Chains A and B, each alone.
Chain A
């Protein structure tokens, strides 16, 4: 089983993969939020981003506290990250336009991403470097996905990239569902 094989002090490969999936889906969701067809959505999108960053900082604090009390387990983290990937990617694929849903999902996803940036049974202060690198790379990933999605939303002539964003959302959803199933069935990764 994967839990026993995880090396203390490092973020395991599977969790990194989960972070990438969630980072991508959050980025797509942010780009989706900034669709110009929605009134004032740009302003809301910026607010979402700022609050999301603050929440991820808060999540880090909570995660570090939980880490010292050994309350974080790999199973909970993995389940949570894949569940949130399912939720955010389904919002993208289903083209959900409800601002409350989009903002709520984005905030919570940032929170979860912040939590997963803390290495399990991390060795401090070395663990802080891992946290910093993870947060930086995930921010770049989510920002890149948001920029790409945003660019397609503003292009007037290209309809297929916009549809491609939704199809990509469906693919992320499918992979996340499968990962949850593999985790539940105890298949080693």
Chain B
């Protein structure tokens, strides 16, 4: 796993690609119809909600902070558990305090990064898994009526994964001089944003 430290050069272009995707939103007519529209709706669902974006990036950042194997285990655990939460949302299983849970995910994950908490892998997986349920449930219950369900699913799973990879891409700079402080600052900002989501300020 030592060659994980070689990541920066390999991930520069993928990271830039993801940033470009996040910035550039082409104008689609009837975005929620058909196969393409379903994918587009699903893809934008995690990307356009800042509460989702901060939490997804935080998962990648924390994984990179904890290093191998957490750097790739957490992005595996999250979509798997998120899908279970999404399935519960689709079939109508109620889950209280979904938005609170999503906001708290940014707060807690941000604080864990800010204070450089080195959690054991099992605990990190449980923390990430619990929050994944809330994020998944929100995706499952907010499926647009006109969207193609299959391409919507593919869209939000891919977008979630890309946000994790973006977080990992940022997190690998922890090995660089001053990188650890920068990442901890990012964690602090994520936690602050989470507090904003929690109290409806943002």
Contacts and interface: CB of A to CB of B under 8 A. Distances in A.
**Is A bound to B?**
yes
Interface residues of A, number: 27
B148 A90 contact: no
A158 B140 CA distance: 35
B179 interface: no
Given A173-B83, A187-B143, A182 B150 contact: yes
A170 B164 CA distance: 13
Which residue among B3, B75, B148, B149 has the maximum number of chain A CB atoms within 10 Å of its CB? B149
B198 interface: no
Interface string A124-166: 0000000000000000000000000000000001011001001
Interface in B71-104: 72, 75-77, 79-80, 82-84, 86-88, 90-92
B82 A187 contact: no
The prevalent SS among residues of B at the interface is helix
B158 interface: yes
Contact of B140 (A157, A159, A178): A178
A173 B79 contact: yes
A182 B76 contact: no
B155 to A, nearest CB: 10
A181 B154 contact: no
Contacts of B86: 174, 177-178, 181
B91 A166 contact: no
Contact of A159 (B1, B75, B157): B1
Interface of A: 14, 17, 90, 93, 157, 159-160, 163, 166-167, 169-171, 173-175, 177-182, 184-185, 187-189
